């Protein structure tokens, strides 16, 4: 057997989002525009600390709290509040929902993939095409033996949601296969199923007895209404698991919900998230819950403290919760306004094609339909940075630069 040396390992490229941010930061052009990184920015394109978060920080500063380790499962009060936010206070009391704190949404997704690989042992995992690029890496790392199957999600010619393609792909699933779903503000396309379409998706998943993993990164941020943004998750839960009985003859074999507080609380660097495990029966949830705990112990031992305290402080106080509700509306409305402004600017300068999809989408991103070559020209000629697949982070736009960006897009469209 040949001796292994570290020198044999090839140099891997930096993840695209981080490489793009590094290139933007190194660019000295005064009118450069960052439309790549998925973080909220205010009208001046500056980082925004939510007023509710700032108020919670003041409360915590005056508590003279310690910095001891959390339990392996995280802060119990935070977990309770996270579960109530996701499922509603009433549903959150059901014993077949178990919650652990995670290292943001990425950690929740990684823990979900590890759990499925170790214990569900699916033959396939169905992931939307396109999706958040880290989904592919997470599942490849956690379960290299699991085949990744991409279900159609985006119709490029119509610039719309490919519902029929998604359904046809899921019909090919086998029992215990995993399907990863975005409950709102699909990343990167910004297209979400309607409630009637969600019901059909649920019917197929239940009939095929697939295992569901929801990745919820934008609750409240998408529409400004946390309850509306959780509709799909609550529908799946109530339809298949809410009765805590055997009334469902063929429910999905289980469900995991990954919950991030990065976007909707602006706690990007605090890495705060939760993972909710749902079993058809409360007794079955207990054993699975202990296996989640074992995985956490092996990977991080216990989660981080400060961000969990911030979220818990906000959601435990009626006034701060109300303020947070206004904060997410502020973010959602600004993004909606930017969408309208960009579309109006594009149409004002008579750009080729139909750009109505920009306003039909929802959430932080617009899947513009621009090609990789067009995106490269935007960067090289106009110093506008966005992902190669044409995904634009709308929070990088404001009244000062939206006209410049629209003219640059027209240039790259006309150039081909």
Q: How many CB atoms lie within 10 A of CB 149?
A: 18
Question: What is the average pLDDT across 4-14?
Answer: 88
**Is CATH 3.90.1150.10 correct for 13-49+322-415?**
yes
- Full-model pTM: 0.95
Question: What is the average pLDDT across 271-290?
Answer: 90
pLDDT tens column, 395-416: 999 999 999 999 999 999 998 7
pLDDT tens column, 338-395: 999 999 999 999 999 999 999 999 999 999 999 999 999 999 999 999 999 999 999 9
**Assigned CATH for 69-316:** 3.40.640.10
- Res. 308 pLDDT band, cuts 50 70 90: very high
pLDDT at position 285 is 84
pLDDT tens column, 227-262: 999 999 999 999 999 865 454 556 788 899 999 999
Q: Where are the domains positioned within the chain?
A: 13-49+322-415, 69-316
Phi/psi at 118 (nearest 5 deg)?
A: -80, -35
Reply yes or no on whether 355 is catalytic: no
Q: Are 231 and 241 in contact (CB under 8 A)?
A: no
pLDDT at position 245 is 46
Question: What is the average pLDDT across 190-198?
Answer: 98
CA dist list (Å): 65 to 72, 272, 303: 19, 19, 17
Reply yes or no on whether 81 is catalytic: no
412, two tokens: 């790259």
Catalytic residue among 192, 215, 229, 327: 215
Reply yes or no on whether 132 is catalytic: yes
Question: What is the average pLDDT across 51-71?
Answer: 95
Residue 125: pLDDT over 90: yes
152-166 core/surface letters (b: 16 or more CB in 10 A; e: else): bbbeeeebebbbeeb
Question: What is the average pLDDT across 115-120?
Answer: 96
HEC string of the chain equals CCCCCHHHCCCCCCCHHHHHHHHHHHCCCCCCEECCCCCCECCCCCECCCHHHHHHHHHHHCCCCCCCCCCCCCCHHHHHHHHHHHHCCCHHHCCCEEEEEEEHHHHHHHHHHHHHHHHHCCCEEEEEECCCCHHHHHHHHHCCCCEEEEEECEECCCCEECHHHHHHHHCCCCCCCEEEECCCCCCCCCCCCCHHHHHHHHHHHHHHCCEEEEEECCCCCCCCCHHHHCHHHHHHHHHHCCCCCCCCCCCCCEEEEEEECHHHHCCHHHCEEEEEEECCCHHHHHHHHHHHHHHHHHHCCCCCCHHHHHHHHHHCCHHHHHHHHHHHHHHHHHHHHHHHHHHHHHHHCCCCCCCCHHHHCCCCEEECCCCHHHHHHHHHHHCEECCCCCEEEHHHCCCCCHHHHHHHHHHHHHHC
Catalytic residue among 177, 263, 327, 379: 263
Catalytic residue among 132, 139, 198, 324: 132
């Amino acid at each position: 057997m040949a001796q292994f040396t570290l020198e044999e390992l090839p140099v891997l490229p930096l993840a695209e989002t981080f490489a793009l941010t590094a290139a933007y930061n190194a660019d000295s052009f005064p009118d450069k525009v960052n439309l790549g990184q998925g973080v909220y920015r205010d009208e001046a394109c500056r980082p925004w600390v939510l007023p509710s978060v700032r108020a919670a920080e003041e409360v915590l500063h005056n508590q003279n709290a310690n910095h001891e380790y959390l339990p392996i499962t995280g802060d119990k009060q935070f977990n309770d509040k996270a579960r109530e936010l996701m499922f509603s206070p009433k549903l959150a009391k059901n014993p077949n929902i178990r919650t652990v704190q995670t290292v943001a949404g990425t950690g929740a997704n990684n823990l979900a993939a590890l759990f499925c690989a170790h214990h569900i042992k699916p033959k396939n995992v169905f992931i939307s095409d396109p999706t958040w690029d880290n989904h592919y890496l997470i599942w490849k790392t956690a379960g290299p033996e699991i085949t990744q199957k991409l279900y159609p999600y985006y119709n490029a010619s119509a610039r719309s949601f490919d519902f029929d393609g998604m359904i046809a792909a899921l019909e090919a699933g086998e029992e215990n296969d995993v399907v990863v779903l975005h409950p709102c503000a699909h990343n990167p396309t910004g297209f979400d199923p309607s409630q009637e379409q969600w019901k059909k998706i649920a019917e197929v998943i239940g009939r095929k007895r697939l295992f569901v993993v929801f990745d919820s990164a934008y609750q409240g941020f998408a529409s400004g209404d946390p309850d509306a943004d959780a509709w799909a998750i609550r529908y799946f839960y109530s339809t298949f698991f809410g009765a805590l009985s055997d009334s469902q003859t063929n429910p999905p074999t289980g469900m995991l919900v990954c919950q991030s507080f990065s976007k909707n609380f602006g706690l990007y660097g605090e890495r705060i998230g939760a993972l909710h495990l749902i079993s058809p029966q409360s007794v079955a949830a207990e054993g699975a819950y202990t296996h989640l705990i074992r995985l956490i112990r092996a990977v991080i031992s216990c989660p981080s403290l400060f961000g969990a305290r911030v979220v818990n402080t906000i959601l435990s106080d009626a006034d701060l919760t109300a303020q947070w509700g206004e904060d997410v509306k502020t973010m959602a409305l600004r993004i909606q306004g930017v969408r309208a402004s960009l579309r109006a600017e594009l149409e004002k300068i008579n750009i080729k094609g139909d750009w109505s999809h920009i306003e039909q989408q929802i959430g932080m991103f617009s899947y513009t339909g621009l090609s990789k070559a067009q995106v490269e020209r935007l960067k090289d000629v106009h110093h506008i940075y966005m992902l190669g697949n044409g995904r634009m982070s709308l929070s990088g736009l404001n009244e000062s630069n939206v006209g410049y960006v629209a003219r640059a897009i027209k240039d790259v469209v006309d150039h081909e």
